[in-house]
Every structure is written in C-alpha cells, then in structure tokens.
Chains A and B, each alone.
Chain A
Amino acid sequence: MFTKTLAELARGLRGKEFSSVELTRALLQRIDASQSVLNSVISVTADSAMAAAAAADGQIAAGTAKPLTGLPLLHKDIFCTEGVRTTCGSRMLENFISPYDATVVAKLRQAGMIMLGKTNMDEFAMGSSNETSFFGPVTNPWNAAMVPGGSSGGSAAAVAARLCPVATATDTGGSIRQPAALCGVTGLKPTYGRVSRYGMIAFASSLDQAGVISLTAEDAALILNAMAGFDPRDSTSVDERVPDYTATLGDSLAGLRIGVIREFFDAGLDAGVGAAVRAALAAYEKLGATLVDVDLPALPLSVPTYYVVAPAEASSNLARFDGVRFGHRCKDPVNLEDLYKRSRGEGFGAEVKRRIMTGTYVLSAGYYDAYYLKAQQVRQLIAQDFARAFADVDVLMGPTTPTPAFGLGAKTADPITMYLNDIYTIGANMAGLPAVSIPCGFAADLPVGLQIIGAHFAEAKLLNVAHQYQLATDWHSRVPPAWAA
C-alpha cells in the first residue's frame, strides 16, 4: 500500500480496497518506525489524523468525498498549522503553537487531505542539506550517511522513504527541487504568486514559493489543483485562472522545443549527473521533442545575487522574532537590550545568524546601492535572459544539482561550497519561474534530478512534459532499498 502514488491511493480508497483509517494508521506506524534513522518529521499529529481519517471514511461511504478526501500528507514545518506546533526548524519556535492555518494548509484540509505531521527542515529554510535544523539532520533514504538536501529535506526524504505519498515544501533558492533531486522524487516549485504565501513563515519574501514533493508529476498536478489560486490575504499572489493541471498531462510531446541550458553543463557538473541528464534529454528526443542549445549569460551571477537579496529580506523578516510576543525568550532579561540579544542569540542557529548579519550589512547605509540595488539589477538581467529564451523554446532543461547527495558534515564547515549546490536552481527563483525536478537516473548509486523550467504560469506544460517522461521511464518508481519493506 505504501509504495502507491497519490493517484493510485485515491483509486484504492474509492474502490474500497482499503480505508483511510487503515492507510493513515499504516503510514503513522511507518513514520514512527523511521524516525530514529531518517528524522524526517518534527511533529506527528496522530490523534487528529486518525479522527480525520475516520471522518473521511464516512464521507467516502456516503459518496460525498472530494477527489483528495482521506489521502494523507505531511506539511513542511514552515507552514503554520492551527493548534499544532510550528517550529520552522528553529529553537526560536521550538514551542510555538500557531493560532491559525496557512492558506495552503487550509486549502488542502478543505480538499479532504489528512495531515500526518510536520516535516523537518533547515532552520528558517536556510540550508541545502537539512543540517541547520535545530531538530537534527535528516538522512538520505538512499544512503543514511548522505544528506537529503534542503531546505525541504524532511519532505523529500519522507516521500522517498514512502512515509507518505506527498508533502508540501517551499522553495526560495532550490529548497524543493534540490532535495527532490537528491532523494529521487518529484519536486514542483510553481510560479511566484501561483500559491499563497499567507501562513508560510517568510525567509525571503520576493523568492519564497510553496510547492509540493511527490512521487510523480501526476500527483503534483493533483495537489497543485488544490493548492493554487489567488489569496486576498497575500498581495503578491496572482489572480490568474487555475486550470485543471491533470487535464493536459496526456498531451503528446511531438514538436516540443526544449532549450538545453549551456551554462548548466559547466566544469562543476559531476560526470555521472551529466550523463544521466544527457540520457534523459535523449529520451525526450525519442518522445518527439527537439533539443536547442540556449545561453543564459547572466545566470552564473545568480548565486552571488541570491546571497545578497535573500539575506537582505531575511534580516528584516526575522526581526519579529524578538522574544516579546512569541517564540523563544531568554531567562530573566535584565533590560530590553538583554532581552533582544539573548533571546535572538539563543533562539537562532549559526547559519541563520550568518544570513541576518549578511543581510543587515548589504542593506546598511553606504552599502545599499553597491549590494542590494545592484543585485536587483542583476536579477532583472537574469529574468530577461529567461524571457528571451522562452521566445524560442517551450521549456528549459538541465541538471537540478551539480552533484548527487553529499556526505553528512561534508560541507558544513564551508558555507560557500554549500551555497554552490544551489547554482542551477536559484535562477528560476530570481525570475519567478515555475520549475520541476524529476528523477532521471543514478550516479554512484544516488539519485539524479532532471530540472525542467517553464515560462510564467506554465505549470500545466511542465507537468505534462514531466509526466510523459515518467510514462516512458521508471526512475520515479524506484524505492530506496532500505525502505522497500
């Protein structure tokens, strides 16, 4: 049962092959059993999940169920969940019970889905390996000595280990796609503004986007149908029609023009990863697509640009964690300054502090023009590169990451090396474009991700392109050996 995709589970529930209570109980047990090795979940909401599953079974029996009724999922612990601890992977929010639901959480609940718990993540989504979490690192289901990627490492590992069919995630610089690639699952980051950010704890507001990690593109389409849409509580969400993302999954790829991003096949690309991605491109040619080389000359500037813009916004977004109204407060503050310094000093981890300091620096008087303003200009250049490319091609492709999963602790001492792991993913965030990572093979027994980037609001096309590949290949249905039983 646990290896089934979301679409298969939906059919099973409707066909009464199993009940939502049975499914939910089985997955809760699986989560419980996995924790000591994987550590992919921070909080488990077993009681409310079982109650919701029983109610879902009632609806299924009564014939009032919606397409996703009774299907379980995990939420990344960056989404606020009413009455449930929402930590954002930080000591700062170790005991924070959110008084409200994020729009994404509310929508998926209204669609009938059952929350099993909250997934582990890099602290405040700042990290590429899940090692900055206050709740300890998550391990890679394919090799427990390796990282799962980050920041949505818990969501990716949980789906890869078949603890649940889908999990929500967020992507600011690659935080959905990179862990999806490293764990061998499908990760979709929609267009900026496609999904509401309300209730998603902000890291870098102009880049943050909620999305989903799943086993297949079809499952991502099912979830996006429920997640997407304008939210009057998020001024940056876009009032653009939400199509049925499953309707076009079956479209033929004959005549599809694929732009192959030349800058992604650089010296830093691991040979095994490159080989797997080139093989995937060849498979697309067999499906009727044409490959076109595309240059995105400003793209190599995306990492330094990102590490100005994202920390700048983060330094301001994280100012509200001051020990005054919620979150960690130091013991016995002697005055206001002491309260601020110790509450924040104790509540935040090293990477978060590093980014707050970087962000504060680039926004400060005398440096703003040279850093923040310049970075925004470069961001425009990157966006223009993409816009030019999409005048000629339907989608862009390349590797999601330069290497497969790396060892736990291998890059923690050198932040720059860690940051470079997002070199291929940041571009889509800079330009606000939708992108998906799908499994396309293995390098050194570790999964490799193929990244597909689309034009604004072209999620339906992306999912169609990914789905056709998944019909022709079986990389997405490979189960990590340790989690196959």
Chain B
Amino acid sequence: MSATAARVCLKSQVIDFPRSTRLSRIKHVAKSICGDEEQPPGYLGHLSSVRTGSREELFTLILKSSSVDLKKLRGSLWSGCPSHLRPLCWKISLGYIPPTFQRHQETLLRKRAEYHSFSAEYFESNRVMNADELDILDQIQIDIPRTDSLRNLLHNERIKILSPLRVIYLFLRAIERVLFIRAIRNPATSYVQGMTDLVTPFFSGAKTSQNNYEVFSSEIQSGKSLTRANDETLLDNVEADCYWCLCKVLDTVQDHFTCSQPGIQRVCHRVNELVSRLDRALFEHLAREGVDIFHFAFRWATCLLLREFSGMTSPRAMASYNAFSFPIFFDTYISEGDNLSDFLAYLCTALLLRWAEQLKAKKFHDVISFLQQPPSVSWKTTEHVSRPVAKVTASASVGMVRVVGDLKTKLIMVCARHSPSENFIHFSRQKLKYVLNVTSKYFATYLNMDLMFEGLCLSGKKLLTSNPNSTQILPSDIKTMHAFP
C-alpha cells in the first residue's frame, strides 16, 4: 500500500471514535497499512445488522419504483453507483428524464430527436459556417486529441484491437459535435478549453461494461455491444444523451465559463476563505510566499479536478482496458446538482488541508509546482479498495445515506454562509457524530472519497467540540465555527 493510501487511513481517525472501539480501529488501520486486507473489526462490527443488501440492491430498489424518489436517488448516488445502473441514475438525477417511469421513453424520444435536429442543422453539408463558428470548431479539434482519456482512445493498442478505428473515429466525431452544438447554442459560455475534459465522463458513464453501452434507455439491462454490432443508431442515442447530460451539468456551473469566469473566481475566493478559517498557519504561509489560490485552483475548478484525480477511475475500466476510464467521483458531482460549485470549493480546500504540512515546508516555486502536479494524480482507486472492506462499508452506509445527504447539504450551506440563519436545523449531536463516523470510515476505505468529506468533517467536528454541553447544534455553535481559529 502506498504512502498516500496509508495517510488516507490515518486521516480517517480525525474523527473521534468511541473509546471502546478506538483500539481495534487503530489495529485495523495498522493492518491495512501493512497490506492486510481482511474485513475491518471494531467500529463497523455492530453495524453488521445493516447489511441487508448490496448497493446494487439499494439502487435497484430505488429505481424500481414507478416514480423515483429523487432525494433518495441523489443521496445514494453521492457515494457511487453500480456502473450498469449509472446511465439511468444520471439521467434521472440530472433531470434529463423525469422520475416517472412511464414518461421515460417519450422524453428520450423527444430529446434525442431534438438533438438530432440540431446536429442536422449545424452540420448540414452545404451550410456555411461563420468565422466564429469555424474558430470554435477549430479549437475543439485542436483540444480533442490532447484530452487524456481521448488520447488514450487514439493511441492505446489494446483499445484499437477492441474497437475498430472507424468506431473510434465515430466517437471522436460525436464528442466534437456535442461540444460544438453546446457552444453554438450557449453563446454566453461558448466553448472554453477544458470542456473536452468535462465531456468524457458522460461518454464513459454511458459504458456499462466491457463493450457494452447503455443506450440510456429505461430497460436497465439492455446494454448492446457497440464494438461488435457497430450500431450507429446506438451511438447516435448515446451522443444525444451525453449532450443533454453535459448541458445539465454545465448549466449548474454556467458562470464558470462565462466571460472572465466569475464562477471560478468565486470558487477560488471561497477556498481562500475556508483555508484561512480552517488552517490559519497554512493560509499565512501561502500569503507570505505570494501564492495565489488562483495559480492552481483555476485549473482544478475549470476541469472539476478531473486532471488532478486522473487515476481515480473505476477499477473495472482499468482492468478491461475500456476505451474510457470512468472518473469514479463524478457520481458525487452529479448528485450534488446545483451545489456543485460550492462542493468543489470544499473539495479543493480539503485537498489543500491534506497537504498542509508539505506545503508549509515549501517556497513559492515549489508550492506551485507541487500543486500543479499534486500527489493525487497518482491516486488509484484500486489502492484504496479491497473488495470485502468496500462491501462492508458500502452496506453499512446504506442505512445512512439519506442522513448523510441531508447533513452534507446543510454543512455546505452553513459553511458557505457568512451569517448563518437563526433557524438552522437542529441536528441531534449523537446523530451527527454517528454520521460523521460512518462516513469518514466509509470514504476512507472506499474510493478515497474521504477527501470529499474531510473539509466538511472538520467543520462538523468543530461544531461538535465547540459546545460540549449542548445536545443540539445551535446557531451559536455555527458562529463559533466561523470564528475559528
């Protein structure tokens, strides 16, 4: 196990575990550092009764209902989703198709037809593009071969064997059209470099297993083989679905891409503010060295950390040499919905706090170089996941996801606000503590996603410790947190 992985495990102890289980927990951490991947004893042991089913069953249960509970779906999606259910989960979560099962087909038919009419219009053979359009298309064509996952598609010999060149060509053309049409139809954002990175998760998310693409249809299991059948209609549908899903996500971060990119600037400012609140020493060090958050967080935010987490892709994709390796944390992004931009600020902050000690020892040049090529690029999902552990923790979280989803949103809102409203929801202290324990445990061992929670857990922990006699989180607690340090 790598040093990073070991640190991840240790980090998870940030949260105060109940005294009785602390010892076994530490033993477990020690074991996992030494590479012993047996099931974790201790803290999660008493949760074994929660092991009523796998995540797959959980999702199937949610999706089976004639009208999907969106809140439930998003809450579950936050912690990752089985790959063959991903296309459907995303479509519903993003609001591309309605939660009502009966209306899926009709919506899909309509939306796909709409996209194909755009496509036919903009790419009609005798249509003359104006100079701006040509510039956009030119830029997209320059960027596509320079995008990591797409470059892989072009140059990986194994992929070439699996998928004939013609199919690869069709794919690249499809991506080009998706980006171009999106740019033309949204002149406020147009095309901005970095969007090629953002489009690939949708194409990879459409892939349900080796050689199978889910048509984003409501028949969950009806993946067809694109490479074998060369089914161009299938690809057309994937293209249309990816277009709409991309649009939905880009709409939530619209101002990340409008002129002078105010959304990105806001994320950077927020990161700055959070770091100043959560780690004053780091904040002061960065300021002393003249490091502007903007120097590195600009790219982090623009590409939604895809480049920084390039190794955190689905293990299955890695093993089967799929054309696209799916960025595993994108499920979380999708479930965040309109909170994505805020969430990103937390994620960036959590990263900085994680590397705080290293950063504090570095000078300006080394800080920037470090953060441009952060250790996270070599984080591998497989390093942190051992199947039995993942299974236990995943099922342990089943009962908790709802609460986690709600809590997370609340914390985001609290932390994002300067003056929290007086009627902030009163969470039971015990409940909060429990949730934080479970989530930190879950995310530490599975998918390395504890990061996503680290910033939040830190805030949450301060909430807990700020007023030890209280049984509820009161607005005064929140103020204490804001006053920190």
Same complex: no
